[in-house]
Amino acid sequence: MIIPDVNLLLYATITGFPQHQRAHAWWERTINSSTQVGLTSPALFAFLRLSTNARILEAPMAVNDAVGHVRDWLAQPNVQLLLPGPRHLDIAFELLEQVGTAGNLTTDVQLAAYAIEQQAELHSNDTDFSRFSDLTWINPLRESAARASNDAAREIP
């Protein structure tokens, strides 16, 4: 199972980000595959908060459009809304203690706790996730950039 971070959801849907094309391609491949995807409330509400915020974006989404994206994602047969399990808080608290801070890492800790509890792979463009030793995570944008670079190198005569 893949659990996406909010940054990838934003990059995939908002064309103004430099990461848009790679994130959009990754997200379309992911949600249209047989790979299970777990969406979390923290990531979804962060997507709604950020994608509709005129202080952050020059052209924010209308609330209906942002909610429409979330509904479309959840309508995919391989996508589910994850609920915190019985170990979620304990895992999150252990992660907070492991890194010795909360602050800006609090949402990252929540997502990491979902991934650890579900034995899932967290996908993010945020390297802060490397701080959590029990977490399996990758940056699919870095992976796709490396693949594209390797493909281009093979094409050079």
Query: Residue 102: which residues within 8 A CB-CB, separation 6 or more?
Result: 96, 109
CA dist 9 and 29 (Å) reads 13
Give residue 155's pLDDT.
44
Q: Using 50, 70 and 90 to split pLDDT, how confident is the model at 69?
A: very high
Q: Where are the domains of the chain?
A: 2-155
- 73-121 per-position pLDDT tens digit: 999 999 999 999 999 999 999 999 998 877 888 999 999 999 999 999 9
Which pLDDT score, from 0 to 100, does residue 101 have?
A: 78
Class of the CATH-defined domain 2-155: alpha beta
Summarize pLDDT for 13-47 with one digit per residue, the tens: 999 899 999 999 999 999 999 999 999 999 999 99
